[in-house]
Amino acid sequence: MVVAGIYRRTLPSPPAIEFASSQGKQLFSEALMEGTMEGFFKLISYYQMQSEPAYCGLASLATVLNALSIDPGRKWKGPWRWFDDSMLDCCEPLSVIKVKGITFGKVACLAHCNGAKVETFRTNETTFDEFRKHVVSCTSAEDRHVIVSYDRRVFKQSCRHESWTNVAKYLSEDVPLLLKLDDVKDIEDVLSIVFKSPPADLRYFIKWIAEVRRQENGDMTISEEEKRRLAIKEEVLKQVRETVLFKYVMRWLASESSICKDVKGYTLPEIAADVCCQGAELLTGNSMSCCKQTDVKFLTVDGEKPVTLVSSSIVAAGNEKAVDILVPSSHSEPSGLCEFDQGSCRGMHPYTADVLTVLLLALPQDIWSGVKEEQLRTELTHLISTDNLPSLLQEEVLHLQRQLHFLVTECGFGSSS
């Protein structure tokens, strides 16, 4: 599935209130007058963003430790002693936190072992009124602060889609069981088990991020930074297709033509129109925005290889705006794929085989433990190993593995330490 990349997301208001909005400024002024913003100035002086998606707890703690003027006793960089999220590893290895995130208890452990006095309050051990009292107490002083672990779904910050529960169950429970029960003789049998009867939502799990930009005064030039990003995507596609696993997936797709029958045809203009509507919503903040037209163009810049540019017009609140979608090209054109992968726009976006190959690489190793034939299990383990993948592809696969882990654990089909 192809989706528009997100630069910034507007949170629903209410319940979220933008800090820099007029309402946010009013709330700030009221709290300042009432004396419940005393802790803010220390915190904002040391505020830092997380360096990894799963480091939100670590970044919050690093900000608080610095605000409390606690000396870490070790250097950050150069001669400077300073807390950074990459230094908070005394209760859980960073490699584990990067993949699984961190629990409430481990954050408390980290705060304690780094010199802070810690009190923990869990929802099943306190009341809402008591929680409010602690918040008021902390915000009214400079020498104590509160870190809150909360459910992001209320603020529409969670990336989980409810229908993904079926995907999580299928990958973590159904596939291992099927591999144990079925007489699996070769790699093609394994692929048939994994992909012949998956939940419909599985096809939406891997998403190719398409770059949507506003068109400025009809200018259709491609910047060096945009060309660099396209080149990276093209290289990732190339690396996927150079794997041995990709060749197995290709052969299996060619022999399983029935799989293609129920899949809607998706040419590049159709994909672009879909992405354009997503991009219109993101750019305008209006879900009613949509594309008026979509044209595929090929630009040649200074004699370099052509760049595929999809130009569209979006209409929002009666105003028409031009947007462009940059599409990576692929030099290798596989054959024997589903019909919806063929046509005049071949090679300009990921194929079915690309998506299935990356998904197989991202699945956890223990899924394949149910394969009874030892030689086949060894061959399969070698095919899906990420150790020898080129660096760009390896990075993409490891990122997808982390997403898959979060999906499985959030849906209740795995455990998080």
Q: Using 50, 70 and 90 to split pLDDT, how confident is the model at 25?
A: very high
Q: Can you give the pLDDT at residue 43? A: 94
The candidate with the shortest Cα–Cα distance to 230, out of 159, 301, 282, 292, is: 301
Q: Can you give the pLDDT at residue 401? A: 81
pLDDT at residue 337 is higher than 90: no
C-alpha 79/C-alpha 272 separation (Å) is: 51
Residue owning tokens 């070790």: 74
Note whether 83 and 76 are within 8 A (CB).
yes
Q: Can you give the pLDDT at residue 417? A: 37
Q: Which residue has the higher pLDDT, 338 or 73?
A: 73
pLDDT at residue 135 is higher than 80: yes
pLDDT at residue 32 is higher than 90: yes
pTM tops 0.75 = no
* Helix or strand holding residue 2 (H, E): strand 2-4
Mean pLDDT of all residues in 281-301: 55
Q: Which of 30-39, 194-203, 402-411 has the highest mean predicted lDDT (pLDDT)? A: 30-39
Q: Which residue has the higher pLDDT, 98 or 339?
A: 98
Q: Which of 82-91, 168-177, 265-274 has the highest mean predicted lDDT (pLDDT)? A: 82-91
Measured from the Cβ of residue 25, the count of other Cβ atoms closer than 10 Å reads 12
HEC string of 146-178?
Answer: CCCCCCHHHHCCCCCCCCHHHHHHHHHHHHHHH
Q: How far is CA 216 from the centre of its chain?
A: 29
**3-class secondary-structure state, position 39:** helix
Q: Using 50, 70 and 90 to split pLDDT, how confident is the model at 338?
A: very low
Instruction: Work out whether strand 208-214 and strand 319-327 pair parallel, antiparallel, or are unpaired.
Output: antiparallel
Q: Using 50, 70 and 90 to split pLDDT, how confident is the model at 143?
A: very high
Q: Over the chain, what is the mean pLDDT?
A: 75
- Which class is 22-155 in CATH? alpha beta
Q: Which residue has the higher pLDDT, 57 or 266?
A: 57
Report the percentage of the chain scoring pLDDT > 70.
62
Q: Can you give the pLDDT at residue 29? A: 95
The β-bridge partners of 326 are 211, 309
Q: Can you give the pLDDT at residue 205? A: 61
Q: How is the chain split into domains, by residue range?
A: 22-155, 162-331+345-411
pLDDT at residue 297 is higher than 70: no
